[in-house]
Amino acid sequence: MNDLSKIPVTVITGFLGSGKTTLIRHLMTNAGGRRLAVLVNEFGTVGVDGDILKSCAIPDCPEENIVELANGCICCTVADDFIPTIEALMALPTRPDHILIETSGLALPKPLLKAFDWPAIRSKITVDGVIALADAEAVAAGRFAADEHAVDEQRKADESIDHETPLSEVFEDQISCADIILMSKADLAGEDGLAAARKVIEAESPRVVPILSMSEGVIDTNVVLGLNAAAEDDLAARPSHHDGHDDHEHDDFETIVVPMPEIDDVDALVSAIERLANEQHILRVKGYVAVAGKPMRMLVQAVGARVRHQYDRPWGAGARQGHLVVIAEHDHIDTAAIRATLGA
């Protein structure tokens, strides 16, 4: 790539816990000779996803090429955060061949695409493609509507009533903007679940795009990179619930950070997180926890009541201070109750 060519950028979007970070880890280690740079947008002040990616940096994507923007949606802070960060990545001593952007699980991709028309960067980068991840098991279970049949019947009776939840709007906007849709966690969904998820996704997509299944973030890199979509020039084909609005609000969602003491019982923590999902309607929990007698920190990733944990790396010389980021719709955040359930 010569210095006059545009750097391709792949925007990776998807709902909370759909597997975006896992996919990027796979792309980093299977880049096919491309030198990558990564921009991670977190919803919350504690950067868990960026920390995960930095821990697996490699020569083709060194740690200095992984930049994190926390506590803000890049589609809402274009001038202040996104443009300067992109300019910094383009100014790296060794120019990246490709930039990956992981949006937060609550971000709408279309406003971000509009940012690529900013004079400071429009001649230097292009959107190679938008990859939307959808948790196949969750979509098949109808997680984005409390009762899909009831909503459908109400709409038939009165089309003037808006029954869409903020979660469904986020999901639909991400699907509508995509050049490729990856149904993640295919191993958990099974064939029937994948078929059901595909039906939902096809109904929401305004145009025909490839819909592929994926497990553990593994997909052929050449399938998702090198699409040459120039998505910033194709906005009309990517409708959004927020077309015509200058911005969008995240007030429907709230995030808190819970400092965690050292724990003795991992199973008890898992049960507590499951209760948060089932009893307090918590959408997402992620972070690190110190476990007594274990020199390594424990990474916790939960989507609803599905909890995964693993020891990822030593704590090092610093304090063994754990934190869990908790995300839910605004009305479901009760900080005292959440802390009590977690034993914090």
pLDDT digits (tens, 9 = 90+) for 257-289: 899 999 999 999 999 999 998 898 887 788 889
pLDDT at 1 over 50: no
pLDDT attached to residue 263: 94
Number of other CB atoms surrounding residue 334 within 10 Å: 14
Over residues 85-109, mean pLDDT:
86
Domains of the chain: 7-237 (3.40.50.300), 253-342 (3.30.1220.10)
Strands 253-260 and 296-303 come out as: unpaired
pLDDT attached to residue 58: 58
pLDDT attached to residue 56: 54
Helix (H, G, I), strand (E, B) or coil at 4: coil
Measured distance CA(268)–CA(343) in Å, rounded: 10
pLDDT attached to residue 147: 36
pLDDT digits (tens, 9 = 90+) for 176-186: 999 999 999 99
pLDDT attached to residue 131: 95
pLDDT attached to residue 72: 52
What is the value of pTM for the model shown? 0.68
Q: Closest Cα partner for 287 from 304, 309, 270?
A: 309
Q: Closest Cα partner for 38 from 66, 12, 3?
A: 66
- β-partners of residue 221 are none
Looking at residue 35, the DSSP 8-state letter turns out to be P
pLDDT at 245 over 90: no
